[in-house]
Structure 1
Amino acid sequence: MLNKCYIQATSAISPQHTFEGEFHTQPFVASTRNLLNVIEPNYSGFISPNNLRRMSRLLKIGQTAALKCLVGSEFPVPGAIITGTGKGSLHDTEKFLKNIREYEETALNPTPFIQSTYNAVNGLIALQQKCTSYNNTFVHRGFSFESALQDTLMQLQEGVESVLVGSFEEMSEEHFYIKGRIGHWKEGATNETFLADNQTTGSIAGEGSAYFLVTAKPASRNLAVIEGVEMVYKPTTEQLGNRLQKFLAQHGNPTIDVLLTGENGDANFAHYYQYLHQQFSPSTTIIPFKQLCGEYDTASSFATWLATEILVHQSLPLSLQAYNTASLQNVQHVLIYNNFMGEQHSFILLSK
């Protein structure tokens, strides 16, 4: 399987100022209720008014992020569209279920059902760009985005010239409440700036969408390289360390300049991160990223977008400097380590 691809363009809609303006100089945006909702952009430049009023919130977020990514590339019609999502459109799913109960399965509006399917975003992007090629959505919980990346590498190996790969996730009030009842989120006020240091049970909820236009060939306009992706299911800390060493060895044992970790302040899973910290030299800058985006199934896609930003700018953005004021120089390799609920662990390696 092809073990690398080249990022030509990116786009992200997140709880931070990532969509418009210069993210690197923007201050950290916090929440007061342990829920980080995305900062929604002006959709009018990407979606027509007639379509906009009929679309759900997640469809607008996902399609706009994807179209913004394509605008910044030389492939307005990608050779394939591949995405990952853990939950899909929660709002539409809940709306449809409520309608079933309210109308007793009669006279149901089909629109919420149609828009709640996991591949609805992909379909809209394909219709908008008239892309009739390979189109696939992975719904693998914490492995959703990583599975999309692996499929992307296989498509490029088979000769596809370009792939639009990304993710989309939303958090509804009902889902936030339900997951809070079973201890997924922290109780009371949380200092989100230093989320990783808040070692109590639970984390903070998040949502977002990130897209990447990738190709199999190097070019002067490329932003970064995705060297490879590795997934590990329910490992012990020792097994995780062994898979890390094997993964790095497969890519020439590069010196990791920055390690982006999915530390989310949940004491239940802190031991994985503490063990991983010990596998790197003191020269590696270790930075948690979920204080920026919150915890959700495809948060690793936001980390991939953030890693690309660090490689392009060769420095940490202002929103991360409160946690680590390290002065980065000549950043060549960024490694992302994330785990979802202690079960699905992944590594994504990027280089300059």
Structure 2
Amino acid sequence: MKGKYYIQGMSAISPQHSFGENVFSQPLMTVSENVFACVEPDYRAYMPPNSIRRMTRILKVGLTAALQCMQDAGITVPGAIVTGTGKGSLSDTERFLKEIREYKETALNATPFIQSTYNAVNGLIALQQKCTQYNNTFVHRGFSFENALLDAMLLIAEGNKDILVGAFEEITAEHFYIKSRIGFWKKEKIASNELYQHPTPGTISGEGAAFFLLSDTPGEVQLSGLKMVYKPKESYLQKFLASHELNLEDIDLVISGRNGDSNFDHYYDGLPNELPFKHLCGEYDTSGAFALWLGAQILKAQQVPANWFPMLTVPAGPYKNILIYNHFFGEQHVYMLLTLNTGYLK
């Protein structure tokens, strides 16, 4: 989809120290158990202690990332709230199901059920900021965040302003076990910073939340293109670039979803100036949101965080066009194009 869409603010809570200032000077966080967990911030700066005590982890992560994003953009009430999630609050869902069995469908606590719904984070953001505008959540596995992003772009094309768009995901021990039974994760335990040196079936799991304030007001980073392709029989890369009057030589950096899974990594073979990101956050339905955050940060800083990629030869800048190519276990394929707005003056 073409148009003028600019990222005015952004925030990410991830397994890396991505929240706050000077994120690119932070050390690389690694795991050796094939399970990533978020580095959580101090929530007390964003919500009262009595609210923190009542909220589950995904609610705190999602709300805090959204509030920081709006703070970064300099607004308090967005024109709309649109999010994507593949699983929503897994911990609340599991707790509610366990209580159904434990109490034999009697005397159930309604709170886990209410907080387990996919739009719980959206509702919390709207209540906190008193936003009564358009509010929607997309749940489409590997297309969840991208459908939310597309909806935000359509809203802007219709004349709406300051759209808060984001994604959130969490992993639990039960969910990790279930997905391991069907081959999602590697059987052998590896260090996350050695992910690309182990081309075997499966990958490592992750989680995170990322939010963006999208507007048609000119800004430093422009979201120039978005394309979703379901189970393509051949690469759609050339067609996507051609639709934006570009070719591979015009792309300064390709942020890829390569994740060490030998079943699907062949989709990324041959990409120039490739920078894979899954060793930073792991694999999950809405990991594309972290990739978009990373690409936008690189464009703004005009540098790649060297600390986070010690195992790779980082393509040199300057960076004007960054392509993001990610897929979810070979089914949902996504292309996103970020462009540095050289005419923008701060």
TM-score, with length taken from structure 1: 0.93
Look up the match of 1:161.
161
Letter in 2 for 1:268: N
Does 1:252 pair with 2:245? yes
Look up the match of 1:209.
209
Could you tell me whether the CA contact under 8 Å between 1:166 and 1:210 is conserved in 2?
yes
Could you tell me whether the CA contact under 8 Å between 1:70 and 1:76 is conserved in 2?
yes
Mark the runs of 5 or more structure 2 residues left unpaired by the alignment.
Answer: 341-346
Post-superposition offset of 1:327: 5.5
Look up the match of 2:302.
314
Look up the match of 1:228.
225
Look up the match of 2:95.
95
Does 1:23 pair with 2:23? yes
Post-superposition offset of 1:326: 3.2
Post-superposition offset of 1:2: 5.2
- In the TM superposition, 1:22-41 aligns within 5 A as 22-41=22-41
Post-superposition offset of 1:189: 2.5
Post-superposition offset of 1:317: 0.4
Matched residue pairs, number?
338
Post-superposition offset of 1:329: 2.2
Distance 1:327 1:269 in 2: 24
| Aligned counterpart in structure 2 of residue 301 of structure 1, from 262, 273, 289 | 289
Look up the match of 2:139.
139
Look up the match of 1:347.
335
Does 1:271 pair with 2:266? yes
The alignment-based identity, stated in percent, is 54
Mark the runs of 5 or more structure 1 residues left unpaired by the alignment.
Answer: none
Q: Secondary structure at the match of 2:264?
A: helix
Q: Secondary structure at the match of 1:183?
A: coil
Letter in 2 for 1:250: S
Q: Which runs of 4+ in 1 moved over 6 A?
A: none
TM-score, with length taken from structure 2: 0.95
Post-superposition offset of 1:259: 0.3
Could you tell me whether the CA contact under 8 Å between 1:2 and 1:156 is conserved in 2?
no
Could you tell me whether the CA contact under 8 Å between 1:2 and 1:157 is conserved in 2?
no
Post-superposition offset of 1:4: 3.6
Could you tell me whether the CA contact under 8 Å between 1:9 and 1:213 is conserved in 2?
yes
Distance 1:196 1:170 in 2: 23
Post-superposition offset of 1:198: 1.5
Does 1:290 pair with 2:278? yes
Could you tell me whether the CA contact under 8 Å between 1:185 and 1:204 is conserved in 2?
yes
Distance 2:153 2:2 in 1: 6
Distance 2:138 2:155 in 1: 14
Distance 1:202 1:24 in 2: 29
